[in-house]
Structure 1
Amino acid sequence: MSIENVRYQMRNKPQALMTADPSKYPQKYFKPKGCRECGVNFTPRAPSHLTCSQACADRMMVSAYLSRNYGIRLGDYERMYTQQLGLCAICRGEGFVMAKHHKLKLVVDHCHASGRVRGLLCHNCNRALGLLQDSIEALGRAKEYLICPSDVAPRERKNEPLLPMGQLSLSYSDE
């Protein structure tokens, strides 16, 4: 496990585990304060306790992630999510959560050249665009290939027929 992962896990400590002994602090108690996410007053269980609930802590972390990486807030994400009816802009699927620490089913797709956010995609469609290096030409060839593979596949000579299935011979070397 890398140091980055350890630091990430420590920053995301669950609310229930955020406890401290107030008697070890000069005032002997923790003063009530406003939740940084929703504004509700609550009594923290530790000085580092910034939110009133785990849901608010998760929202705050996701919002910070979106802001840091894409320059948008959680409200912007939720607006796009609503506009797209909660579906991937390409495949129209609902998306899925990749790992336990992920909170969003759809990921933010952005232009790597300009940084401009384009929309929300499922992980598979976002990865497909990345593997095609955001190339409109490659995407067009992929579309043509799906429609009629024999018209798109490169051949040494024009008009050379593709081999029928089963007639392709491959040779492998042990080098």
Structure 2
Amino acid sequence: MPSLRTWPVTLWVAPSNRCNQPRSSMPRKVCKDCQPENPYQRPAPHPGPRCATHWRAEQKRRKEAAHASHVAHVYGIGHRDYDHLKDLQGGVCAICQRATGATRRLSVDHDHKTGAVRGLLCRPCNNMLGHGRDSKDFFARAVAYLIAPPACRLTPEADQ
């Protein structure tokens, strides 16, 4: 019996599997949203996958539904109320007037004592209110600090 090294190459055949087949010959799954509706076909109990375009649309729909559900459950306002409040604010954060909520949705600001919704804020403004614990004195001191910072009161004689 000849050794494997002397056998002709044509005697050895690679096992056939899907990896060796060209992509065009592989069966393709059809997007369940792209399929034309057939009135005579029963809906599948577990329909197939989605194409990239429909999957992105589905992810966006799910994300919006989850946000609307969260806002309704925690703050008691519906998705339309959220959108109406955003329109009343001009589509921007109520404090800084810069953040639009395009990248990250505006947070629902509420009074922790009463639970009443006050408006929509960007994350930094909402954190600032939380850090100040909604204290008017805290923000009055912040305004006074901005008007007359302590460093302005330094005199050259104080360093000597």
Q: Work out whether residues 92 and 101 of structure 2, in 8 Å CA contact, stay in contact via their aligned partners in 1.
A: no
More helix by share: 2
Within the candidate set 63, 68, 86, 2:68 is matched to: 63
1:104/1:79 Cα in 2 relative to 1: closer, same or farther (>3 Å)?
Answer: farther
- Within 5 A, what are the aligned runs for 1:1-175? 29-30=44-45, 53-95=58-100, 104-150=104-150, 162-164=153-155
CA distance in 1: counterparts of 2:101 and 2:81, whole angstroms:
20
Are the equivalent residues in 1 in contact too, given 2:107–2:120 (CA < 8 A)?
A: yes
How much has 1:29 moved relative to structure 2?
Answer: 2.5
**One-letter code aligned to 1:87:** V
Query: Retained in 2: the 8 A contact 1:96–1:123?
Result: no
- For the residues of structure 2 that align with 1:83 and 1:96, how far apart are their CA atoms? 14
Letter in 2 for 1:113: K
Separation of aligned partners in 2, 1:127 and 1:79:
23
TM-score, normalised with respect to structure 2: 0.57
Number of residue pairs aligned between Structure 1 and Structure 2: 112
Distance 1:59 1:137, change over 3 A: same
Kindly state the Cα deviation for residue 139 of structure 1 after the two structures are TM-superposed.
0.7
Separation (CA, whole Å) in 1 of partners of 2:68 and 2:101: 19
Query: What are the superposed Cα offsets for residues 49-78 of structure 1, whole Å, 9 maximum, x if unpaired?
Result: xxx933321221011111122111211111
Q: Give RMSD over aligned pairs.
A: 3.4
> Which structure 1 residue ranges, 5 or more long, are not aligned?
1-15, 17-26, 32-43, 47-51, 98-102, 154-160, 169-175
CA distance in 1, matches of 2:61, 2:43: 26
Preserved contact between residue 88 and residue 120 of structure 1 (Cα < 8 Å): yes
Distance in 1 between the 2:131 and 2:109 partners?
Answer: 13
Asked if structure 2 preserves the Cα contact closer than 8 Å seen for 1:109 and 1:118, the reply is: yes
Q: Which amino acid aligns with 1:114?
A: T
- 1: distance between equivalents of 2:43 and 2:146? 69
Q: 2:144 is matched by which residue type in structure 1?
A: E
Percentage identity across aligned positions? 35
- SS of 2:119's partner is strand
Deviation string 1:83-103 (CA, Å, 9 cap, x unpaired) is 111111011012457xxxxx7
Structure 2 vs 1, CA of residues 28 and 139 (structure 1 numbering), >3 Å: closer, same or farther? Answer: closer
Output the CA distance in 2 between the equivalents of 1:130 and 1:83.
Answer: 23
